[in-house]
Structure 1
Amino acid sequence: MTTTIAPAATAKLTRLTVLVFALTAGSSAACNYYLQPLLQQVADDLGISTVAASLLVSAAQIGYLSGLALLVPLGDFLNRRRMVPALLATSVAALLVSAVAPTFPILLIAVFATGITASAAQVVVPWASALADPERRGEIVGTVMSGLLLGILLSRVLSGAIAQLGGWRAVLLVAAGIQLVMAVSVYLLAPNTAPTAPKERYSQVLASIPALIRNHAVLRHRMMFGFIGMACFSAVWTGLAFLLAGAHSSPYHYPEFVIGLFGFAGVAGALGAPVVGRLADRGYLRMVTTLMWVVLLASWGLLAWGGHQVVVLIVALVVFDFGIQGIHLSNQSAIYVLAPEARSRLTTAYMVTYFLGGVTGSVSAGVAYQAGGWNPVCEMGLAATVLGAALWAVFSRHAGARSGHRREPGGPLHS
């Protein structure tokens, strides 16, 4: 019996397919974050310092970077219906090793491997973009991104609840089970589509990424904004784990389950992603990007205040995550129109820079929190946001001056 492989342009994107993609993106991205609210517990269990524990977040992100740079480009010339389940199955193995790791070095290596396989999330996003009708592409990508972002945020809730009952190792065992279910689901339910660049060699695909960066100013700018946004995101959620656990004279001393519940505060940002996508589809991407930078700037004062007031902290996290995820989705909406045949490679260029920001943010937050607590983390994030907003203002004004009011990909209304 011959398996039919349809071109991406003709394969039907059903609601079930979108749901599978969203869940796969969420479960894969979550693997990088299950341990984040449990850093203090891991540090106590393995006898390591706060700074060493924060390296687990960095190891996952560096692994993710490696997967983005070396594996995600394969999505343009391999069968994604086979590639994604293979990555998910490998993720299961890495999570199982992490769960039984007897020492910190072994755990660090296994977490790095898990980060590599978590790049399956970024194979799914351009896959969904390729299958979507042009007039709904922003909305579909926004929906899949909502799944990815919910996975990141709800991973903290799930890990806190499980860790309260069975410790941090039990969290990783449950995560392995989820990834196994998603591997089977993608293979059985996702469309079997043909690659977009089947005749290119792997070396040619990798070599084409720097050319895409050179040829598209919009891509370069959005990579820069992604770096800043993810650095802020990672800094806040890394520092938050220590703040809520009571480190460095913090007024909070919550158990793991309660720390995990703070992940719900960021769900509003993830749920707002399709709205940003729909506005992008209607030509308001420039306006949305500006608004998201304003929201992010406003969130830092609330976050600093929230270091002493839990209600304010919850509100601050809602506002902060909405701004961060809005910027992220506006970046992706802008780059995916640049070269439709190379969406996986565009994803690699953008997301490698994005998670370099994440590594920078998590390491900086660990050092800043150990040196002075929550306030230095907020001050560092505010400075980065001011820089990002200023750069966006310059870029947006120059793009408008070059293109007038034409509605072009990457122009003033779509930049």
Structure 2
Amino acid sequence: MTSSRPVLTTPVLLLMAVATGLCVGGNYFNQPLLDSIAEALDTSRSAAASTVTVAQVAYALGLLFLVPLGDMFPQRRLAVMLMLAAAAGQGLSGFAPNIGVLVVGTAIAGLFSVAAQVLVPFAATLATPESRGRAVGTVMSGLLVGILVARSVAGILAELGDSWTTVYRVSTVAMVIVALALWRVLPATPPVVRQGYGSTLRSLGTLIVTHPRLRTRTLLGGLGFASVGALFSTMAFLLSDPPFGLDDLQIGLVGLAGVAGAFAATAAGRLVDRGYGPPTTAVGVSTLIASWAALAAGGSSLVWFVVGMLVVDLALNLVHITNQNIVYALDPDARSRVNSVYMTGYFVGAASGSALGTMAWSAGGWTAVCVLGVGLAALAGVVWALDLRLAARMRARSATATGGPAAA
């Protein structure tokens, strides 16, 4: 594998970042367009909002059943094939005549958009050990910026194209172009393991049992993203209703507030490379809890809502990148499978948060959403405290076994 590392030049790394942003960002096109989708397809708001949950559930299924293939097959081939399949799902959504077809297209695109999560551990594998955190952070920055920009681009193209379908059609073409570019520049690498698909899936359970911090960090990430998922699934309803009354374009532009927070991913990766993972997680969890105060005030103030969007994305990214770098180090020969476990939990959290957020909105409006969001963030704080104790015990056992201090 050493011979393949020089191909991870900055342009290649940036192309991988763009690819991850396109793949995962497509799962968020619908969020600022829910009102328009409901009106155009003659369906209810709740039915339109169900596509948010469908996208997250499909993505979680892809993480569980497709991402482990990254240890079994050449990662370049797998990533490109998955990306092309996701493009097909986006194309179907772009020509959906009714909510049923949109749900199917959303499910296909969400399932195969896990190409992004083949590329993230691939970047970690191609990078040198001393630059691994930066490489993962850069690719994840692309993914996170893609999620945030996707909402704005969706709103802008909906206005320019006079239809909510425009963004899906444009995305289809862009994904095909980038997939072909990846095929040209990424190296062909051999599979890490040679075993059957069933054995590979069963090994996920072994990894969960073997690595306690994979369990705690997965739960931490899932709860954090559940908190943010409650926000993402309801923000269009809040901002389109009085006192704001924003249209699709304006709601999409509000989503840009989180872009600055997404760039924290690269900084977080560098901090992990320098050994500052624990304090970075502490700042992220604390900020996530505090961000809901700003979002609560945002129920009547657009300024506070924008501040809350910025802070909540910053916080989630700090937690997520430190989580990824910690779990990738647990078993370097099983990075795709470790990533599968972690990211499945992460997006199950997102799907759960989205569904709970929609229910909270129906039950008690924005106040109920904020209570839910801060409650989930507080639970993430509890898990973080448990993870700290677990890490301390593991270091103590390691020090006892070796007769000296252990690495953190």
Task: Tell me whether 1:28 sits opposite 2:20 in the alignment.
Answer: no
Task: Tell me whether 1:290 sits opposite 2:282 in the alignment.
Answer: yes
Task: Tell me whether 1:194 sits opposite 2:185 in the alignment.
Answer: no
CA distance in 1: counterparts of 2:175 and 2:340, whole angstroms: 22
CA distance in 1: counterparts of 2:6 and 2:40, whole angstroms: 49
Trace 1:199-210 onto structure 2 (pairs within 5 A). Answer: 199-210=194-205
Contact 1:73-1:205 within 8 A present in 2 as well: yes
CA distance in 2: counterparts of 1:94 and 1:395, whole angstroms: 38
CA distance in 2: counterparts of 1:101 and 1:42, whole angstroms: 10
Q: CA RMSD in A?
A: 1.9
Contact 1:7-1:194 within 8 A present in 2 as well: no
Contact 2:55-2:107 within 8 A present in 1 as well: yes
Tell me by how many angstroms 1:369 deviates.
Answer: 1.1
Q: Where in structure 1 are there 5+ consecutive unaligned residues?
A: 1-5
Task: Tell me whether 1:234 sits opposite 2:229 in the alignment.
Answer: yes
1:217-266: CA deviation from partner (whole Å, max 9, x where unpaired): 010001101110111121111111111111xxx41111111110112111
Task: Tell me whether 1:360 sits opposite 2:352 in the alignment.
Answer: yes
Match of 1:179 in 2: 175
Match of 2:252 in 1: 260
Match of 1:164 in 2: 159
The correspondence for 1:395, drawn from 358, 383, 387, is 387
Tell me by how many angstroms 1:371 deviates.
Answer: 2.1
Match of 2:301 in 1: 309
Match of 2:7 in 1: 12
Match of 1:50 in 2: 45
Match of 1:151 in 2: 146
Trace 1:312-323 onto structure 2 (pairs within 5 A). Answer: 312-323=304-315
Contact 1:8-1:130 within 8 A present in 2 as well: no
Match of 1:98 in 2: 93
Tell me by how many angstroms 1:401 deviates.
Answer: 4.3
Counterpart residue identity of residue 121, structure 2 = P
Counterpart residue identity of residue 191, structure 1 = P
CA distance in 1: counterparts of 2:77 and 2:191, whole angstroms: 11
Counterpart residue identity of residue 196, structure 1 = V
Match of 1:3 in 2: none
Tell me by how many angstroms 1:69 deviates.
Answer: 1.2
Trace 1:311-390 onto structure 2 (pairs within 5 A). Answer: 311-390=303-382
Contact 1:283-1:413 within 8 A present in 2 as well: no
CA distance in 2: counterparts of 1:272 and 1:406, whole angstroms: 32
Taking structure 2 as the reference length, the TM-score comes to 0.95
CA distance in 2: counterparts of 1:253 and 1:194, whole angstroms: 54
Match of 2:131 in 1: 136
CA distance in 2: counterparts of 1:45 and 1:342, whole angstroms: 45
Structure with the larger helix share: 2
Match of 2:291 in 1: 299
Counterpart residue identity of residue 183, structure 2 = Y
Task: Tell me whether 1:126 sits opposite 2:118 in the alignment.
Answer: no
Contact 1:38-1:256 within 8 A present in 2 as well: yes
Tell me by how many angstroms 1:406 deviates.
Answer: 7.4
CA distance in 1: counterparts of 2:305 and 2:130, whole angstroms: 38
Distance 1:15 1:404, change over 3 A: same
CA distance in 2: counterparts of 1:314 and 1:8, whole angstroms: 46
Counterpart residue identity of residue 286, structure 1 = P
Contact 2:213-2:390 within 8 A present in 1 as well: no
Contact 1:37-1:160 within 8 A present in 2 as well: yes
Counterpart residue identity of residue 276, structure 2 = Y
Counterpart residue identity of residue 186, structure 1 = L
Counterpart residue identity of residue 54, structure 1 = A
Counterpart residue identity of residue 35, structure 2 = Q
Tell me by how many angstroms 1:7 deviates.
Answer: 6.2
Distance 1:315 1:8, change over 3 A: farther
Distance 1:226 1:413, change over 3 A: farther
Task: Tell me whether 1:112 sits opposite 2:107 in the alignment.
Answer: yes
Contact 1:50-1:370 within 8 A present in 2 as well: no
Counterpart residue identity of residue 51, structure 1 = S
Three-state SS of the structure 2 residue aligned to 1:31 is: helix
Q: Where in structure 2 are there 5+ consecutive unaligned residues?
A: none
CA distance in 2: counterparts of 1:320 and 1:405, whole angstroms: 36
Instruction: State the percentage of identical aligned residues.
Output: 38
Contact 2:269-2:325 within 8 A present in 1 as well: yes
Match of 2:63 in 1: 68
Worse-matched range after superposition: 135-144 or 200-209: 200-209
Query: How many equivalent pairs are there?
Result: 403
Distance 1:300 1:129, change over 3 A: same
Contact 1:11-1:193 within 8 A present in 2 as well: no
Contact 2:5-2:128 within 8 A present in 1 as well: no
Tell me by how many angstroms 1:56 deviates.
Answer: 0.2
CA distance in 2: counterparts of 1:48 and 1:412, whole angstroms: 59
Worse-matched range after superposition: 19-28 or 40-49: 40-49
Counterpart residue identity of residue 303, structure 1 = L
Tell me by how many angstroms 1:165 deviates.
Answer: 2.1
Tell me by how many angstroms 1:338 deviates.
Answer: 0.5
CA distance in 1: counterparts of 2:3 and 2:249, whole angstroms: 43
